[in-house]
Chain A
């Protein structure tokens, strides 16, 4: 067990736990921030995507001990009122079916647009390729990213 102070969504949070614990479970089990989802546990599906200093990162294989003072942003902290351009575009296009993977999709999309505000269609597909949606909402995901990039 060890104590860590984490910067999450602009707030300092202290946790005392096994240093190997992935950030995914720190968020979900210890801080009751359940917007970040568990999908595969091996960084293959993207459901657990967060931003680490602005970069889309898989939280399911990211030990709490490796974070240091880097800034973590989760879906809960992407915007104060759910009005980030990507979230608004997601609602406009009515992307979700079951909705489970969408937080991860949104975190990947928002990190893309932060680095590349005007991605081509191909760049959007490439960036979103790491996030699995079993419901098959990929076409609406692309469309929503495009709309967000234009706003």
Chain B
């Protein structure tokens, strides 16, 4: 046990003694059709005692743990309560997990993004469980008249060995709920963990496989209407006028109207990125009727700014790559001088297109806004910011706005930008009725906040011994400047120059799973492979030499280097060992290696593949990960596998291009996503066991795999792949 101060503010603990004295609370009752089985109801406690905002203990020892953060498939709804349960010291089978609503008084950072839920939640979740356990111990100490430090816990039981007394948590819950919150509590040593570090299945698994209503799109309410929107057909266009007579006369249609979602004076949050101020709303009885009416609408749009095409983006980004920015993002030594003395110079340009998020569940939201209150329910990664926008747009104080998150059919960054929820609220306010806004796939894919398109040029200089003496990177992206100037190999090269540009466009962009890293990692790691080859060195040995340099004699102030070279080298060494890396092919399979650090976790990968015509057949991926303590290995591996498949898919097959402001791809018939047959045959994951506080896994396995793929493809084909998606890249043979 380690004694720690309770760092959470006291307002975090609402000890509601009123609630403690009664009140039956049934879980999972937000959807009427989501009924519990009779067995579940019988197992429910008669009374719940709330020890703090995160958990309540039932009179029979069952524990309800609130999962504070939005669930987008990253499995925090299982992992976060596991951490609480560990420190509370209960059996996992006695835990019920509930999604917490937005409540900024109790919870901090109710946001899904940046792979940060576990990293930033770790301390407060542990403290929450440990504090509740301490209060239960104090309740037992008072009841049994024994010293509190003689009481031990285990599996939801309190024990006092000397007097041979035992009680379940449920028996002490009512007393514990009335106690003061302790100033100091003990948390477990890692060696004492019984839940953290063990395989636990997705708490929503049984509901998912039986098709129970869990997602925003599944919401049904009495008197609920369906709403759809029509947004401008191109970036650069805005609403002008329409003839809605035919659509309004169609069966089941209640109203069709232009709607200003964001008035000019609206106080927008960053989460309103991609907001379209004025759109057309269709409200009706059912989804299909709204879809039909949508087709019958005759809307006139007008040009408000330039209608951009991919050819323009390409040319403008190329120009930026040829232009030195006024200021360098980072400069160590003198790259120009070093290039002059270099024995070899390697230079390459890598590119990638816009990408859509394509969560399998299209955007949607339920809203019921009356003059008294606003109820919002649906899939949102940023509920706190949504509330702030709604205060401004609806003209309603935050106390009158309730926001509840549903399980999300994917996030990948798309649901950070909750403009669809604002649209739902504004339409409901106008209709004075509960509505569910539903996007079609086409609405979703053409609406924006895309992964930006990117280009980057690398130039490296080697001395006559194959040592890296200079590294110059210049990158540019649409609405995004791409470069992380303090990431590897910054700090490992004497002469280093990082430069970056952003191209302003009206095609809206935003965070997409592992922002920037989702391109720059693959580019950098493919280029590193080219440089290692030019140096005549093994690609892993070449990287390790650089990490050695960053460890023993870092360039510049090591505090400025945004990585820990020892942990970085650690995952490379681990994947080298596990994959049996020799530097050559593996029984006829071509191999590529890659490593990257982002979102506070380290990943190294080796990929084996063969190429059949244009088609890569990926045999196996070995993946070494350092994310500190692994909360739930079963699910952690699922995240790693998913990120790898997702990364291979987008690097190989996916692209969004533009003609006159319109995306050329509008649905899955033209926008290609990776499918089952194209995924690797096998993925094996390995974790570094170091006891460091945990970091996230929703993103880190995706970025480097694009580099491992490019490098393995090179070994198989003799061609370097520079331009994503690789399926369209017809690179020349090298050498």
Contacts and interface: CB of A to CB of B under 8 A. Distances in A.
B289 interface: yes
A96 B641 contact: no
Interface stretch (B72-80, B446-454, B465-473): B72-80
A99 B288 contact: no
Contacts of B288: 18, 20-22, 25, 29
Interface in A76-99: 76, 78-79, 82, 87, 90-91, 94, 96-99
B675 interface: yes
Interface string A9-37: 00000000110111001001110111111
B682 A44 contact: no
Contacts of A17: 286
B362 interface: yes
A15 to B, nearest CB: 11
B646 A94 contact: no
Interface stretch (B3-11, B300-308, B406-414, B519-527): B406-414
B217 A98 contact: no
A17 B669 CA distance: 29
Nearest to A132: B673
A139 B645 contact: yes
Nearest to B649: A136
Contacts, number: 187
B680 interface: yes
A13 B302 CA distance: 47
A148 to B, nearest CB: 11
Interface in B190-215: 199, 201-202, 204-206, 208-215
B679 A138 contact: yes
Contacts of B676: 125, 128-129, 131, 133, 138, 141-142
A101 B218 contact: no
Contact of A32 (B214, B220, B675): B220
Contacts of A101: 360, 409
Interface in B402-435: 407-412
B209 A134 contact: no
A42 B641 contact: no
A87 B669 contact: no
Contact of B638 (A28, A30, A39, A137): A137
B211 A34 contact: yes
B226 to A, nearest CB: 7
A129 B673 CA distance: 11
A102 B441 contact: no
Contact of B33 (A29, A32, A91, A140): A32
B635 A94 contact: yes
Contact of A134 (B201, B442, B638, B673): B673
A25 B217 contact: no
Nearest to B682: A139
Contacts of B391: none
A91 B410 CA distance: 19
Given A87-B209, A101-B360, 4 more contacts: A94-B199, A94-B638, A136-B644, A136-B674
